[in-house]
Amino acid sequence: MREEEIEVAIKVVVVGNGAVGKSSMIQRYCKGIFTKDYKKTIGVDFLERQIDVNGEDVRLMLWDTAGQEEFDAITKSYYRGAQACVLAFSTVDRDSFEAIEGWKRKVEDEVGNIPMALVQNKIDLVDDAVLEPEEADELAKKLKLKFFRTSVKEDLNVNDVFRYLSERYLARIQSTEAEETSTTQTKIGSIFDTAGTTSSSANHANKQEIGGSTIQLKPTKQRTHGKKKSFCFKL
C-alpha cells in the first residue's frame, strides 16, 4: 500500500429496476448465499466486503437501492458520495433494460462521472430472454461502459463486476496522485528558480561600501520542517 495507515474504502451503489437481482447480487458477493425468494428492498440495504486488489486492501461498501419510483426521494440521497456504480437489468425484463439510461442519469446527476459497469443479470434464464444479445452489446457501446453478463444463481461473473470497479477506482486515485505530485514538483521548481533570481539581486543590492571595503550581507538561514502528506477518502 502507498501508506500503511491508509485504508481504501469504496462506496458502490447498485441501481436498476425492481426484481432485476440487485439484492441477490450483493448477498451472493458478500455472503456467498442465494435465495429464490424475492423481497422488495424498502429504501436502501447495505453490506461490506474486504478484498485485495493488486496488493491494496480495499473495503467495498455496497449499497442496494430500491428500484421502485416511490422510493426515489430516499434512494437518491444515498447516491451522494458514491465512488462506483453497477447499472443492472434483467434478461427477462425488457422494461429494466430500457430504463438503464435513466438510472445512469440519476446517478450522474448526484455524483458526476464515476466508474460504472453495465450488468445483465439472470442469463441462466436465456430461454426466456426478452432481448437479443446484440441489443445489450449496443447499449454498452452507446454508454461506453464495461459490460458483464451475470447469473447470481450460478455465481457467474459476479466477482468480476466488483473487482473491475475496484481496479477502475484505484487507477483513478493513482492518476490523481500522480497529477498532484507533478503539479507540486513544478511549483517547487518555480519557487527555487524565483528564489535563485531574488537571491542574486539581493546579494548585489546588499553590498555596502564601508571604509573602502565591500561587505556582503548574507540572509539568515532558516530551518523548514516538512509535513507528512496524509490521504483521506471521503465516503
How does pLDDT run across 17-44, given as a tens digit for each residue?
A: 989 999 999 999 999 999 776 565 555 6
**How much is the pTM?**
0.74
Residue with cell 453495465: 118
Cell of residue 168, nine digits: 477502475
If pLDDT is split at 50, 70 and 90, which confidence band does 153 have? very high
The larger pLDDT score, comparing residue 77 to residue 214, is at 77
How many angstroms separate the CA atoms of 63 and 92, rounded?
Answer: 23
Comparing CA positions, the residue from 87, 98, 99, 158 lying closest to residue 123 is: 158
Q: What is the pLDDT of residue 40?
A: 58
Query: What is the total residue count of the chain?
Result: 235
Quote the DSSP letter at residue 113: S
| 191-199 average pLDDT score | 52
pLDDT at 232 over 70: no
The larger pLDDT score, comparing residue 76 to residue 51, is at 51
If pLDDT is split at 50, 70 and 90, which confidence band does 99 have? very high
| 205-218 average pLDDT score | 44
Task: Give the pLDDT confidence of 214-228 residue by residue, as tens digits.
Answer: 444 444 344 444 444
Q: What percent of the chain has pLDDT over 90?
A: 55
Is 157 buried (19+), middle (13-18) or exposed (0-12) by CB count in 10 A?
A: middle
| 159-186 average pLDDT score | 85
The number of angstroms, rounded, from the C-alpha of 180 to the middle of its chain's C-alpha atoms is 17
Q: What is the pLDDT of residue 46?
A: 85
| 103-109 average pLDDT score | 94
Mean pLDDT estimate for the chain: 80
According to CATH, the topology of domain 8-169 is Rossmann fold (3.40.50)
Q: What is the pLDDT of residue 119?
A: 98
Please give the helix or strand (H or E) that residue 18 lies within, else none: none
Q: What is the pLDDT of residue 176?
A: 82
If pLDDT is split at 50, 70 and 90, which confidence band does 48 have? very high
Phi and psi (nearest 5°) for 139?
A: -65, -40
Q: What is the pLDDT of residue 20?
A: 94
Q: What is the pLDDT of residue 220?
A: 39
The number of angstroms, rounded, from the C-alpha of 120 to the middle of its chain's C-alpha atoms is 21
